[in-house]
Structure 1
Amino acid sequence: MQLVINNLSKTYPNGVHALKEVNLTIPNGMFGLLGPNGAGKSSLMRTLATLQEADSGSVFLDEMNVLEDKEGVRKILGYLPQEFGLYPKVSAETLLTHIAYLKGITSHREREETVKALLHKVNLYDVRKKNLGTFSGGMKQRFGIAQALIGNPKLIIVDEPTAGLDPTERNRFHNLLSEIGENTIVILSTHIVEDVSHLCNNMAIICKGEVLITGHPTQIIDAMQGKIWKKTVEKEELQHYIQEQKVISTTLFAGKSVIHVYLDEQPDASFIPVEADLEDVYFTVISDKTSVITL
């Protein structure tokens, strides 16, 4: 199974051109959609989830026309938006049971078995009777994944799922998403580079509505090896280097600025080579679209 997006565009009434002829082919497994805030990730996710219309282009999930057959898409879609509301005074078990019914599981026994299995899968079974208002951020995200998995969806979309989670919850969430991605298409939309590098076999970087690069994270990183250089400079020297070199990111360390520069050859002997990672790829690709990234 694969999702094929061709020339997808969207402009909002306020004039914001959110998507600019987006072209992507997304196979089975975990696919990372990486980009800064405002890049168009949520606009693409909302369009794929049938929550808004596209201006032009096409999207097909195998033979299914996603933009035209909205009811058909919703039957096989699992969606975890960036922000979602929960009834704080309702238990996890009760709400998940209600959602299962809304998704078409009308058999009481099947619904009961489905809810039980999902609560076990996301490690919430022991707190199934507790009200959702008492859940931590990570627990709410895991509940969100549980509801997205109802009905064995063929396409799952998760939008910024780990933002705001502590390291323990992020690790737990990574393991859960990795397991889910073995048998279906999972699109992970995020601005957190580490999420994509840890989880995804395929990825794309999007900025200002345009897809800038696609491919396997390891292959993309390998293509950049030998082209990233590092130097520690005084803070007052930073602007000089930004003007003179292709500085892709800066980090403050012990009161000084550590800069990363993208160049085919060593700028001068004061720069040392750095083994490229996905952050370097990300900053290099979007540097022409945005200002220098400061960490």
Structure 2
Amino acid sequence: MKLTIRDVTKTYRNGVQALKNVSLTIPLGMYGLLGPNGAGKSTLMRTIATLQEPNQGSMMLDDMDVLREKDAMRRVLGYLPQEFGVYPNVSAEEMLNHFAVLKGISNSSERKEIIKALLQQTNLYEVRKKNLGSYSGGMKQRFGIAQALLGSPQIIIVDEPTAGLDPAERNRFHNLLSEIGENVIVILSTHIVEDVTDLCRNFAIINKGEVLLEGDPLQVIDSIRGCIWRKFILKSQLEAHQLEYDVISSRLYAGKTIIHVLSDVQPGAEFEAVAPDLEDVYFSKIHEAGKREKRLKKN
């Protein structure tokens, strides 16, 4: 099974072009959609979920035309949006029962068994009688996955699921997503690079509505091996280094600033080579896109 997206464009009425000829091939398993806030990730997720129409392009889930067969797509879709509200005074068990009815699971004994299994899978069974308003952020996200799994979907969309979670809840959520991703397509939309590194066999980087890169995380990391250089500098030196070198990222460490520079050769004797990671790939692509945009504006 795969989701094939071709030349999808979306421009809102205010003139903002959120998606620009987006083409992706999303296979079975965990697929990461990585990009900064405002990159167009949520617009693409809503379009896949049939919540809005693109201006042009096509989406096929195997032989199903997603944009024409919306009801069929919704029957095989599970969706956890970025803003997932819950009724605070209703228990998880009651809320899942309500969602199950809406999903068309009419047999009460069947619903009961399905809900029990989902609560166990998401590690919420012991707190199933508690009101959702008393849940922590991580528990609410796991409840969101439980409702998304109702009806045995073939494709699941999770939009920024780990933002704001503490490390323990983030690990629990990762383990849950990994388990789910063994049998269905799971699209993980996030701005957190580690989420993609930890979970996904395939991913894409999107920025300002455009796909900058698509591939296997390990392969794209290998493609810049030997090209990432590190240097410790004073914060006051950052601007000068940005003018002289291709500085793709900077961060504070022990009162100093660490910069990573993209270069085929050692930029200077004071630079040391470092093993690249997906964060370096991500920042290098965002940096390249920014330089390209500046050149176009000058022309």
Provide, for residues 127-161 of structure 1, a one-character-per-residue CA deviation record: whole Å limited to 9, x for no partner.
00000000000000000000000011001000000
SS of residue in 1 equivalent to 2:206: strand
Residues 9 and 57 of structure 1 are in contact (CA less than 8 Å); yes or no, is this contact kept in structure 2?
Answer: yes
| Map 1:209-288 → 2, pairs under 5 A | 209-288=209-288
CA distance in structure 1 between the partners assigned to 2:50 and 2:58 by the alignment:
13
The whole-number CA distance in structure 1 between the counterparts of 2:203 and 2:70 is: 25
Q: Which residue of 1 aligns with 2:73?
A: 73
SS at match of 2:268: coil
Matched residue, 1:61: 61
Whether the 8 Å CA contact 1:208–1:289 is kept in 2: the answer is no
Off by >6 Å, runs of 4+ in structure 1: none
The within-5 A match list for 1:1-295 is 1-290=1-290
Structure-1 separation of matches of 2:84 and 2:173 = 17
Matches of 1:195 and 1:238, distance apart in 2:
29
Q: Per-residue deviation at 1:290? A: 4.4
Displacement of 1:84: 1.1
When the two structures are aligned, how many residues end up with a matched partner?
Answer: 291
Letter paired with 1:20: K
CA distance in 1, matches of 2:202, 2:74: 24
Q: What displacement does 1:254 show?
A: 2.3
Deviates more, 1:252-261 or 1:119-128: 252-261
User: How far 1:68 moved relative to its partner?
Assistant: 1.0
Residue 255 (structure 1) shift:
2.1
Quote the offset at 1:278 in angstroms: 0.3
User: 2:35 corresponds to which letter in structure 1?
Assistant: G
Greater mean alpha carbon deviation, residues 282-291 or residues 114-123: 282-291
Residue 287 of structure 1 aligns to a residue whose secondary structure is helix
| TM-score, normalising length: structure 2 | 0.96
Q: CA RMSD in A?
A: 0.8
The one-letter code of the counterpart of 1:221 is I
- 1:150-184, Cα deviation, whole Å (9 max, x unpaired): 01100100000000000000000000000000000
C-alpha separation in 1, matches of 2:80 and 2:290: 28
Equivalents in 2 of 1:180, 1:240: separation in Å? 47
The one-letter amino acid of 1:61's match is L
Q: 2:294: which partner in 1?
A: none
Report the TM-score, using the length of structure 1 for normalisation: 0.98
Deviation at 1:62, TM superposition (A): 0.4
Matched residue SS, 1:87: coil
Greater mean alpha carbon deviation, residues 233-242 or residues 38-47: 233-242
Listed as ranges, the gaps of 5+ residues in structure 2 are 292-299
Tell me the distance in 2 between the aligned counterparts of 1:7 and 1:61. 15
Distance 1:85 1:141 in 2: 10
Cα distance in structure 1, aligned partners of 2:228 and 2:289:
19
Letter in 1 for 2:218: T
Give the match's secondary structure for 2:90: coil
Separation in 1, partners of 2:9, 2:231: 40
Deviation at 1:14, TM superposition (A): 1.0
Describe the superposition over 1:234-264 as per-residue Cα deviations: whole angstroms up to 9, x where unpaired: 1111111000100000011222211000001
1: CA distance between counterparts of 2:241 and 2:14? Answer: 37
Q: Give the conservation status (yes or no) of the 8 Å contact 1:162–1:173.
A: yes
Letter in 1 for 2:79: Y
How far apart, CA to CA, are the structure 1 residues paired with 2:15 and 2:118? 42
- How many angstroms apart in 1 are the aligned matches of 2:225 and 2:263? 11
